[in-house]
Amino acid sequence: MTKLLEWVFGVSVLGAAWAFVTFDILKMSIPRPYREVAWPMPLYLLVTFGCYSLATVGYRVATFNDCDDAAKELQAQIIEAREDLRKKGLKF
Amino acid sequence: MWLTHHRNSATCLAKLVKLLGNATVTDKAVGASLVGFSLLLFTYYSIWVIVLPFVDADHVLHQYFLPREYTVILPGVAALVVLLCIGAFVGAVMLKNRKPKKVD
C-alpha cells in the first residue's frame, strides 16, 4: 500500500464520516449542537492549519540568529578576493 | 565576462552581509506580531465554530460573535484576497523581468 493510497484512504474515511453527519444520510438523529459543530469542520481544519503555519513562520522569524563570526569572516574573505583579483589585473 | 560577473557578486554579497547584521529588532517585532495575530485568530475562530453551538441562545457571549454564516464567508473571502495578492505579485515580477526583443 503506497503512501498516496494510505492518505487517500484516510481522507475518504474522514470525508465519509463528515458527510454522514452533516447531511444526515443514515438518519442517525444526532443532536442539533453536534451537527452545528460538524458541518464547518473541513474549513475549520484549514483555518487551523493556516494559523499554525503563520505562527511557525512568525516564530522562526523572531528567533533567527545572527552569525557575527561568520559575517566577519565572510567580509574578510571578500576583501581578500578583491585584492587577489586586483593583482591579476581586474580594475575595480 | 566572468571577471565582471564575479565583481558584481562580491559587492552584492558584502551589501547583503551588512544588511543581515542590523535587522534583529524589526525581525523580533514582526515575528511576535505574527504569532500573536495567529493565536488571536485561532482562539476567536475556535470559540465561534466549536463553543457557540453549545451555548444558550440568550447568553451574552453571542453578541461578541457575528452570525454563523460568516464562519464560511469570511475565510472564503480571505482566501480569495490572498490568491489575488499572490497573483498580482507574480504578475508584477513577470512584467518587470520582461526582456525586450532583439532588433535585427
Question: Phi and psi of B22, rounded to 5°?
Answer: -110, 15
- The number of distinct structural domains making up chain A is 2
Q: For residues A18 and A50, state if they share a domain.
A: no
Is B71 in contact with A43 (CB distance < 8 Å)?
A: yes
A12: domain range? 1-39
Tell whether A3 and A35 lie within a shared domain.
Answer: yes
Position B94 scores a pLDDT of 95
B8 falls within a domain: yes
Write out the residue range of the structural domain in which residue B44 sits.
Answer: 2-97
B3-44 pLDDT, tens per residue?
Answer: 555 556 556 655 665 555 556 888 899 999 999 999 999 999
Let me know if residue B54 belongs to a domain. Answer: yes
Chain B residues near residue A34 by CB distance under 8 angstroms: 53
Q: Shortest CB distance from B71 goes to which of A40, A48, A57? A: A40
Residue B103 lies in a domain: no
In a domain, B89, yes or no: yes
Domain count, chain B: 1
Angle between helix B2-20 and helix A68-87 axes, rounded to 10 deg: 160
For range A55-68, the mean pLDDT = 89
Measure A68 CA to nearest chain B CA, in Å: 7
Record the pTM: 0.69
B7 in a domain, yes or no?
Answer: yes
* B85 in a structural domain: yes
Task: Dump pLDDT digits (tens) for B59-83.
Answer: 888 888 888 888 889 999 999 999 9
Residue A8 shares a structural domain with residue A29 = yes
Q: Give the three cell numbers for residue B36.
A: 500573536
**Identity of the amino acid at A2:** T
Hey, are the CB atoms on A37 and B50 less than 8 Å from each other? yes
What's CA A37's distance to the chain center, in Å? Answer: 25
Question: In terms of domains, do A33 and A60 share one?
Answer: no
